[in-house]
Structure 1
C-alpha cells in the first residue's frame, strides 16, 4: 500500500501538527512502505535501528559509483555553494573519509571538553532566561532557546557572540534543503546562506591559524593524525554541520518538549519536585517528539535484506525516526509521555556510523535549560496555543509563549 493512502502527507498542516496517529497506521500496515517518488519508508524501531547500522546502505553513493553506474541521472548541480558546504559534512560522508574526519574531530571535541563547558552553558542559560522572562511572559523559542543555543555554540567555536544572529540566519536557511519539499525561494536562500557561511568560516580559520586560542576551531586547525590534518574545506563543512545540527536539535527539542510538559502538567511537577532528574526528562523529550523525523540512505548493493524485503542497488530508504521512537514493540506504552522513563536508547540522535557527534553537547544544553526553567519558573502555563513550523524533516515550533510565576 502506498504511504500516502495511509495519511502520510508532509505538505498537510494537520499531519504536521500531529503525525503520530498516522505513524501508528504505518506500523500496522507493514515494515517497508513505498511512496510515488521511489522511496521506501521504515516505520518500525527495529528496522530503523538495523538500517542505521547496515553496511549495504550509505548516505551517499558517489564514493563507490558514478551516477550512470548507480542508475541515476547525471548530477546537475544547481546549488554549488550549498553542495560545497555539504561536501565534507560528517552527516553525509561514508568511510574511509568519514572515519578519518570523525576520528580527528572526536579527538578535540571530546566528552571531557563538552563537560568543561557546563559553567559557560549555565551562565548563558541564566543570563538569557533573566533577559527573556523579566515580564512574566516568555516566548521560549525566539527569546530564550535560539539566543541561548547560539551563545553556547559561539563560545564552543570561538566566534564573537555578536556574530550569532548571522549564524542563526544562515542555519535557518540552509536546513530547508533537508526537507522533502522545499520551494525555489527556500533553495535560493540556502544557496546564498551557504556562500556567506563558507566565506565567514574561511576567514575564521585564517584568524585562528594566525592567532590560536582555546576554542574548537583552533583545535580543528591544529589537529594532526599520521602527519596530516584537516583541510580548510573539511573544517568549513565540520563547523557548518556542528552549528546547524546542534542548534536545530537543541532549540526544537526544548520547544517540542516544553509543549509536551505544558500538556502533561503532572510530568512537569515530577521535574519540579525533583522526583525525576532533568537529564532523564530530556531523554523523554527527545524520544516523544523528536526534532529529526526522517533520515535517508541509499541502497549500495543488490540483495540487501531489510524490513522483510530484498532491496536492489539504487533503492532509497527513508527511516522514520518519529515513528520508530513511538514503536510499542520497543517502548512500552510508547505514546505516553513519561519523563521518568529513563530510556536513552531512542533514535533522537540517530545511531551507527552517523550517530550525532554533538549529542553530548545537546544533552547538556537541554539538562541545563530544564534546570534553569525549573528553578526560575516552577509554575508555567501556555499563553497561546503553539503551532509547528510548516516542515516535516526538522520538526519544531514557530513559537511557544509561556506565562511564568516565580
Structure 2
C-alpha cells in the first residue's frame, strides 16, 4: 500500500515572504521569538515595528535576527516605495503584538506609519495577534473593531489568558510564540484566511496518551505526545469554537482560548469525556487510550528480587469512543481516531474501515503508525473516513495543517 505523501509547496519555490509587524506593547519582546521561529522554519521575514515598539525592543535586535533592515516610517528608501511594495509582495503579514490602538487603526483604515500602510496594501492573509489588558480586549470599541476586521477577512487571533502587565491576570495575554508561528505557517499553507465557521460551537477534544499505573513508579502507556489533539484544539479555538481539551499526560503549552482538563488514566479520561460530552456539539477522541490496565496496582515499588516477577494480569479498559457514540445526542458530531498498522489480515485502510463500522462515529481520522510516523512527530498524514463511505487522503503536513483539514471535514457534518 502506498502511504499518502504530497510535497509541501513552500519547499518547491523561493522562501515565503513574511512581514512581521510589531506593536508598541510590553509583549513586543516576544516578537523576537516569533521572528526566530519563522526564520528557522525557512521564511524570509522583514520586521516592520511601530515607533513605540522600538522603545521596547531596539531595531538592532530585529535586524540581527532577520538579516534585513528595520524601518518605521514611509520617508526612508522612498524610491523603493516601501509603503506599497511591502504589502504587495508579502505572502503573509503577521502583527504580534497587535495593541488596541493598532487594531483600531487597522479597522478604520488609518495609515500614519509604515506598518499601517502595509496593512492597507496587503492582499495576502493577514494575522493580527492581540495583546492588551482584559478591560481593553473586552471594551465594546475593541470588540467592534475586531468584528469589523474579521468581516473583511483578517484573522484576529484569540488571545491567551494569564499574567499580564504588573500583577494583573486575565484574558488578553499574547499567545505562546510557538503557537503564533504555527498559525502563521497554517495561513501560508492555506493561502487564505482561517474561517470563523465554528464560531460559538461547543467542542470537546481528548488528547495525549493514558497511563495505567503498575506501582508508584511504573506504568503501562504509549508514545502519544498529544501534539495532534492540541493542534485540533488550537485550530478550533481560532476558528471560533468554545473548546475544552481533556489532556492525558501531555507536556505542552495550553493553546490560547482553550480550557484544559488534565487526566492520567483511561478511567479518568472516560469520566471527564462522558461528563462533558452531553454539552458538546462536536466530540473528538484523538487521545491514545490504553486498551488494558493492570488488575492490581502495587502499593509500593515492585523490587527486583532474586526470583522472577509474578506474571502481570491485565483487564480490558472501557471503549470510550463506543460509549460516546452510544450515549450521543442526535445533533452531536463524533470524530474518532485510529492508529493502525498493516498485518496479514489487511492493510491500514482495511483495518480503519472496519474500525469505523464497529465504532459508529461520523468521521474517523486514520493514521498509519510506526517509527517516525504519527506519534512523537511534528507532522502527520493519513485518511479521513466518513460514515457515508467517502474517503479523503490527508497528505503529510504539519499537525496544525492536518487539524485544519479535519475541521474542514467536520464543518459540513454540523449542517448535514
- Taking structure 2 as the reference length, the TM-score comes to 0.24
Larger Rg: 2
Larger relative CO (CA 8 A, sep 6+): 1 or 2? 1
Structure with the larger helix share: 1
